[in-house]
Chain A
Amino acid sequence: GENVEQHPSTLSVQEGDSAVIKCTYSDSASNYFPWYKQELGKRPQLIIDIRSNVGEKKDQRIAVTLNKTAKHFSLHITETQPEDSAVYFCAASTGNRDDKIIFGKGTRLHILP
């Protein structure tokens, strides 16, 4: 089955700098890669997703890149702000509605003042 590895587990970034979180996956059939942000005690929220027919997707300060050959994808947050502090999870799925989404272990992002 699918296995998703996520690094780093913890990341501290100065406010205004960029943060990058990287994930790798094992199942070449996976073609849907969402990213979730989870604040303490709250539900995960989808912040951006990418499909295998696209190499990069951007939404304001957030971007995701996908390298299907190498089976890795990354989340990039530019001009970080205090409210970006949270745990971020990458995930992978085949994209079929009945297929489970497998999550990485998460990255705790701290934005330093």
Chain B
Amino acid sequence: GAVVSQHPSRVICKSGTSVKIECRSLDFQATTMFWYRQFPKQSLMLMATSNEGSKATYEQGVEKDKFLINHASLTLSTLTVTSAHPEDSSFYICSAHMRTNEKLFFGSGTQLSVL
């Protein structure tokens, strides 16, 4: 099946630093990628929709200046958590739509811990 690679899998950083998370579709083109946040034992909360070559669409309540999304190619989207604070600690997961159908494939997630 289709593979979505997400890196890094775990990040521990100091408060105030910025963290970049990469999401790559390895064997298919993804015109649309999605970024989610997941708190322990809770559902996936959509943060933003990332379209190749255009600005991301953010969900209500998600700060676009805080969570910078770049989708520069059909296989790569990045999420940068700027000036991270402890409340940003969470599990972040990306997903990608196959261009040929609407099936969604998920990355392996990034556990962010901000000290």
Contact = CB atoms under 8 A, between A and B. Distances in A.
B74 interface: no
23 contacts: A36-B106, A43-B106, A43-B109, A44-B93, A46-B103, A46-B105, A89-B44, A95-B102, A96-B102, A97-B98, A97-B99, A97-B101, A98-B51, A100-B34, A100-B46, A100-B49, A101-B34, A101-B46, A103-B43, A103-B44, A104-B43, A105-B43, A106-B43
A44 B41 contact: no
Interface string A76-113: 00000000000101000101111111111110100000
Interface of A: 32, 34, 36, 41-46, 49, 87, 89, 93, 95-106, 108
Given A43-B109, A44-B44, A106-B42, A101 B104 contact: yes
Contacts of A102: 46
Contacts of A49: 103
Interface string B76-106: 0000000000000000010001110111111
Interface residues of B, number: 23
Given A87-B41, A105-B43, 10 more contacts: A41-B109, A43-B108, A44-B93, A44-B106, A46-B104, A97-B97, A98-B32, A98-B51, A101-B34, A103-B44
